[in-house]
Amino acid sequence: MGSFDDATTVRRVSDGRYSAELDGAYAFEQALNGGYLMAVLARAALDAAGRPHPISTAASFLRVGRPGPAEVHVESRKSGRTADVARVTLVQDDMAVVEAIITTGTLDGDAEPVFSASADRLPPLEECVLFGNEPEPESGFAARVEMRYDAATMGWLDGQPSGLPEMRSHFRLREDREPDGVVLALAVDSLPPVVLNTGAYGWSPTVELTWHMRAVPAPGWLALHGRGRLVSDGWFDEDVEVWDSRGRLVAQSRQIARAGRNRP
Amino acid sequence: MGSFDDATTVRRVSDGRYSAELDGAYAFEQALNGGYLMAVLARAALDAAGRPHPISTAASFLRVGRPGPAEVHVESRKSGRTADVARVTLVQDDMAVVEAIITTGTLDGDAEPVFSASADRLPPLEECVLFGNEPEPESGFAARVEMRYDAATMGWLDGQPSGLPEMRSHFRLREDREPDGVVLALAVDSLPPVVLNTGAYGWSPTVELTWHMRAVPAPGWLALHGRGRLVSDGWFDEDVEVWDSRGRLVAQSRQIARAGRNRP
């Protein structure tokens, strides 16, 4: 089983062109996770700009990403003092799969916040629950990513959705690899859709997801806090905040997605 | 004085090319408001797709937009059943000023939410305060847009910032024109920066702003609720929710921006 870094490797083919081999381990029924795709895009954008941190990523998901070969096209739109901005496109079979704008730059790992909100409560690891029954799955997304959920947000598994579009979990890679900006790209799209708690079932395709890296994460577990504000007209929003093991807000995302309409 | 619709008019030059004349009334010291620029982009994207609503807009602000002629380039990236997605670029002097990805579609004006959060409190109009002294300014942004602020978020005007990155206001155009998706683009970037309440002063340039239209707004005043979660390392986030006169959430935005560093 390859590492997360192997699975997100991009190889520079020419100026602004990268090749990648997308890893089916990050797929659900052959549809690759959007966070995994954003991690691949981030690696190409960071390499092209020569910057360490994906400060801001706005990604529109046009088609389902499939395991196998892909290209990443990076087109610089601004190279500034503080940040670089590029159009970044994931291409498979000559079609755009993800269309993104990525701002890269350098965050100060020692910055002290002028103001920070505080995280909502997430029960400690030992009080949280697994999604499936296996503590150490052998294949698929759950074999790469370890998550421990707040039971209050997992009633939908037993047909008892809370009615609140919320989902909370601890998160880490199942390998000796500490979080950084590329792992944060994966983390912001790792929770099950919050609408599972408002009665939606089935596939909830992300239409657009924007996320910002806000600080350099400390080693250890991350805490994911997901919630939505409105489920209406077949659309829902999902905000995810990522907090590191030192209790600092390290990433923020919002996605707009189509609510699953299949009933169980 | 021209109307908002005049100021945001785009003229189709050829497939995917539009011309516009940007109106200095929406500028602060010759820098055009980002929401105004997004309104112009929205009109071009809606025209090109033949869709009524700007469902999702992710905009990166590369350079300051100036009053005068501009072009809008629209490049379709997907034309789907539910939505269209296009790259949309505002160009002045042959340079990209705003680089955006816009998803357009059709919202159901009669949709009943499956779930909706509720708005924080905003005092009624008659208890709110003006920014300046003039109830009816004769020029500039304040002559186009009428805003009445929650006094609890305006202490920074008197050198008494609250310490909380929050800003709240009622909003409407100063003309006989009810809100729609294009007005919402303006509304989400109309509040003074929330960091004025955490001691930042001066120009706070937006780097990236993503906003989603969530419902068709009812006629009347809009309520803007802005707040930030983290001010750190020279960066801050600002979320703005827009609620309509019927108390429905009609738009959500988040921007990431550089905190002003000038001291008074």
Residue-by-residue pLDDT tens, chain A, 264 positions: 789 999 999 999 999 999 999 999 999 888 999 999 999 999 999 999 999 999 999 999 999 999 999 999 999 999 999 999 999 999 999 999 999 999 999 999 999 999 999 998 999 999 999 987 677 788 889 999 999 999 999 999 999 999 999 999 999 999 999 999 999 999 999 999 999 999 888 789 999 999 999 999 999 999 999 999 999 999 999 999 999 999 999 999 999 999 976 544
User: Quick one: B163 and B256 in the same domain?
Assistant: yes
Three-state secondary-structure class, residue A26:
helix
User: Quick one: B94 and B63 in the same domain?
Assistant: yes
A249 part of contact set with chain B, CB < 8 Å = yes
Task: Please answer whether residues A249 and A196 qualify as being in contact, where contact means their C-beta atoms are separated by less than 8 angstroms.
Answer: no
- A181 domain residue, yes or no: yes
Residue range B237-241: average pLDDT?
98
- B112 domain residue, yes or no: no
User: Quick one: A5 and A98 in the same domain?
Assistant: yes
Task: Please answer whether residues B71 and B98 qualify as being in contact, where contact means their C-beta atoms are separated by less than 8 angstroms.
Answer: no
Q: Taking CB atoms and an 8 Å cutoff, what residues of chain A touch B78?
A: 62-63, 96
Tell me how far apart the alpha carbons of residues B170 and B224 are, in angstroms, rounded to a whole number. 6
If contacts are CB pairs under 8 Å, which of residues 168-227 in chain B contact chain A?
198-200, 207-208, 210, 212, 214-215
- B111 domain residue, yes or no: no
Backbone angles phi, psi at A62, to 5 degrees: -90, -35
Token pair for B132: 């300046």
Domain span including residue A190: 123-264
Chain B residue at shortest CA distance from A102: B60
Query: Per-residue pLDDT tens for B38-72?
Result: 999 999 999 999 999 999 999 999 999 999 999 99
Chain A residue at shortest CA distance from B106: A233
Residue B264's pLDDT band (cuts 50, 70, 90): very low
User: Quick one: A159 and A249 in the same domain?
Assistant: yes
Of residues B71, B70, B45, B64, the one with CA closest to residue B56: B45
User: Quick one: A138 and A227 in the same domain?
Assistant: yes
- B195 domain residue, yes or no: yes
User: Quick one: B36 and B152 in the same domain?
Assistant: no
Q: Taking CB atoms and an 8 Å cutoff, what residues of chain B touch A56?
A: 60, 207-208, 256
Q: Which residue among B106, B135, B157 closes a domain?
A: B106
User: Quick one: A90 and A132 in the same domain?
Assistant: no
The domain total for chain A is: 2
User: Quick one: A133 and A235 in the same domain?
Assistant: yes
User: Quick one: A223 and A179 in the same domain?
Assistant: yes
* CATH number of A95's domain: 2.40.160.210
Strand partners, A100: A59, A88
Q: Which residue among A106, A139, A156 closes a domain?
A: A106
A94 part of contact set with chain B, CB < 8 Å = no
User: Quick one: B77 and B133 in the same domain?
Assistant: no
Is pTM beyond 0.95? Reply is yes
With a CB cutoff of 8 Å and minimum separation 6, the contacts of A185 are A35, A38, A39, A41, A42, A54, A57, A211
User: Quick one: A88 and A191 in the same domain?
Assistant: no
- A115 domain residue, yes or no: no
Task: Please answer whether residues A112 and A240 qualify as being in contact, where contact means their C-beta atoms are separated by less than 8 angstroms.
Answer: no
User: Quick one: A195 and A83 in the same domain?
Assistant: no
Backbone angles phi, psi at A41, to 5 degrees: -60, -40
- B32 domain residue, yes or no: yes
Tell me how far apart the alpha carbons of residues A42 and A180 are, in angstroms, rounded to a whole number. 11
